[in-house]
Amino acid sequence: MKRRQFIRNAGAAVSIPMLLNGFRLSALSKPLLFNGVNDETDRVLVLIQLNGGNDGLNMVLPLDQYASLHIARPNIIIPESAALQITDTVGLHPEMTGMNSLYHQGKLEVIQSVGYPNQNRSHFRSMEIFSTGSPADEFWNTGWMGRYFDDNYPGFPEGYPSGENPDPFAITMGYSVSATCQGQAANFSMTLNDPFNLSQIPENDGSEILDTRYGEELAYLLAIIRQTNRYSERIELAANNGHNMAQYPSTGLARQLKNIALLISGGLQTKVYVASLGGFDTHAGQVEDGDPTSGSHAELLKTLSDAVKAFQDDLQAQGLEERVIGMTFSEFGRQIRSNESLGTDHGTAAPLIMFGSCVKPQVYGDNPEIPFNVDVQEALPMQNDFRDVYGSILMDWFGVPESDVRTMMHPEFTPLPIVSCSLISDTRSPETDDGLAVRNFPNPFQDWSTIAFTSPKEDWVRLSVFDAFGSEVAELVNKKLSAGEHEVRFEGRNLPAGSYYYRLMIGNTQKTKLMIKAR
């Protein structure tokens, strides 16, 4: 059985949660399948989970789309004059001064319109998809980083910590382990609040354990407790050896990032840290009435921006920034239209932000095209599949071969040029999408439209059409085509009038364009 098929079919493990001294433990079924590969890098990934569904249109401002946006969201749109401009056509929310500074220092990257085909608008389900890396119609029981750890550290949790790997592989700041790090047998992440206040969990006094099924489960749980105590000792040692060299704001997210920087500074070999910031489900009161630059969303973006800036300053001052990259993610974006409650409802794609001295300082992708007549519940189309972002991090940051990434993530994985300090730079295509010419005619159309494009060389071409809600309505091309000009006819006579988007991918380049079916 192929490994990806196994991951799909493996049954969910039974968990027994325990919260002790800030740690949540899970006793899970024993290992099922392992395929070990050694990983000798000391690179660190910091994930910041934005819980609730972040309104990307009011975070990364598409300045060339403001004529349409003023019609769609007149009561919440950030004034163009207030934008912190980072390119000719892209601005940041005015409260994001810290991230604006990082961008101009070459340490911030915006990836436009990140999502997945047929996006689900349920908080729980969409976050599950973003954590596991599964397709929208499949349920996987391992996280995308958990699969990476499974491949590199066989047998976990048995035999860990070890002399070679004495530290926890992942740490989630807070009380619940991140599903991102769920492996086949156990979660590779442990939770942490205060690295200076870790009491030891009482261990078995040596009493005999019954030779039964329940005895085996108890023995496993006791092994997890012993493991947690050993990890606690390592965390406290790192916390006492580490230090911070930047001034952090007095916010919960800033404290999380401050502790992460402290542990990295103290020599902890943990590879993945997960922090979180909640409150992004802004159905109402997203902005203050009469002042769209203030309100709950502005406060959240300021909290995020200031905390990341302090964290990056800390790493730079300690000479650690080339070891660490960070990434924000949320379960979905918001709809294009605002509602009457000064808020926005659940949407689909949204921009994703990466930070660090080893990310490419760029806006990757185009501004989303906003129609003048936005349908009710219409949201942004996907340009960049989140699995391509994750896979590119695994490939370039952690050195996972492209073939293995396709197995871990999805068969149609496309590497994106988003990491500058790549471990596998020789596999990266130097192409950009600047010369990818594509158009459709007629536009608007009634029954059909022809999509015309030029392929610069013989390459694999994928062309799909999505409706305004992110559902794929047609796959027009998915095969290798010769170099030159191509035309593909899209039959839309049976579709309702409204906005549609076609997404063209040629090799490692892509374009997403708007087309309108007339009423």
pLDDT digits (tens, 9 = 90+) for 379-434: 999 999 999 999 999 999 999 999 999 999 999 999 999 999 988 854 444 444 45
Q: Is pLDDT of 82 > 90? A: yes
Shared domain check, 129 and 80: yes
Geometric angle at alpha carbon 400, from 176 and 108, rounded to 5°: 65
pLDDT bracket for residue 92 (50, 70, 90): very high
Q: What total of structural domains would you count in the chain?
A: 2
The pLDDT of residue 437 is: 86
CB 76 within 8 A of CB 338: yes
Shared domain check, 169 and 246: yes
**By C-alpha distance, which of 59, 27, 44, 7 is closest to 344?**
59
The pLDDT of residue 482 is: 95
Instruction: For residue 280, tell me if it sits in a domain.
Output: yes
Single pTM value for the model: 0.88
pLDDT bracket for residue 216 (50, 70, 90): low
Which two tokens mark 459? 């390459």
Which two tokens mark 14? 């039974």
Shared domain check, 443 and 392: no
Last residue of a domain, one of 392, 427, 462: 427
Q: Is pLDDT of 13 > 50? A: no
Helix (H) or strand (E) holding 63: none
Shared domain check, 449 and 418: no
Of the listed ranges 22-26, 42-46, 421-425, 434-438, the least confidently predicted one is 22-26
Rounded to whole angstroms, the Cα distance separating 117 from 98 reads 32
CB 145 within 8 A of CB 187: no
Which sign, positive or negative, has the C-alpha torsion 74, 77, 80, 81?
A: positive
Instruction: For residue 289, tell me if it sits in a domain.
Output: yes
Instruction: For residue 42, tell me if it sits in a domain.
Output: no
**By C-alpha distance, which of 378, 218, 398, 387 is closest to 325?**
398
Select the more confidently predicted residue: 405 or 5: 405
**By C-alpha distance, which of 131, 159, 142, 138 is closest to 3?**
142
CA 110 to centroid of chain Cα atoms: 12
The pLDDT of residue 214 is: 55
What is the DSSP secondary structure assignment for residue 303, as one 8-state letter? H
Of the listed ranges 10-19, 70-79, 237-246, 384-393, the least confidently predicted one is 10-19
DSSP string, 352-390: EEEESTTB--SEESPPPP--SSPPTT-BPPPSEEHHHHH
396 φ/ψ angles, rounded to the nearest 5 degrees = -85, -35
pLDDT bracket for residue 488 (50, 70, 90): very high
Instruction: For residue 392, tell me if it sits in a domain.
Output: yes
Shared domain check, 239 and 90: yes
13 φ/ψ angles, rounded to the nearest 5 degrees = -80, 150
Of the listed ranges 18-32, 65-79, 225-239, 455-469, the least confidently predicted one is 18-32
Cα dist. 477→73, 295, 320, 433 in Å? 35, 45, 45, 18
Instruction: For residue 45, tell me if it sits in a domain.
Output: no
Residue numbers of the domain that contains 487? 438-517
The pLDDT of residue 211 is: 59
Instruction: For residue 92, tell me if it sits in a domain.
Output: yes
Domain with 451 in it: what CATH number? 2.60.40.2550
The pLDDT of residue 226 is: 78
Shared domain check, 457 and 387: no
Shared domain check, 457 and 476: yes
Last residue of a domain, one of 377, 398, 427: 427
Shared domain check, 445 and 370: no
Instruction: For residue 246, tell me if it sits in a domain.
Output: yes
Shared domain check, 479 and 400: no
The residue whose two tokens read 């700041």 is 173
Q: Is pLDDT of 499 > 90? A: yes
Q: Is pLDDT of 114 > 70? A: yes
The pLDDT of residue 22 is: 40
Which two tokens mark 126? 């969409």
Residues 6 or more apart from 119 whose CB is under 8 A from it? 126, 136, 332, 348, 349, 382, 470
Amino acid, single-letter form, for residue 337: R
Give the CA dihedral 224, 327, 179, 401, nearest 10 degrees: -80
Rounded to whole angstroms, the Cα distance separating 506 from 484 reads 12
Instruction: For residue 21, tell me if it sits in a domain.
Output: yes
Q: Is pLDDT of 206 > 70? A: no
Shared domain check, 486 and 337: no
Q: Is pLDDT of 79 > 90? A: yes
Shared domain check, 208 and 349: yes
The pLDDT of residue 227 is: 83
**By C-alpha distance, which of 368, 335, 371 is closest to 351?**
368
Last residue of a domain, one of 366, 400, 427: 427
Per-residue pLDDT averaged across 124-146, rounded? 97
**For the chain, what percent of residues have pLDDT higher than 70?**
85
What is the DSSP secondary structure assignment for residue 419, as one 8-state letter? B
Amino acid, single-letter form, for residue 339: N
Q: What is the mean pLDDT of the chain?
A: 88
What is the DSSP secondary structure assignment for residue 441, as one 8-state letter? E
Shared domain check, 473 and 410: no
The pLDDT of residue 362 is: 97
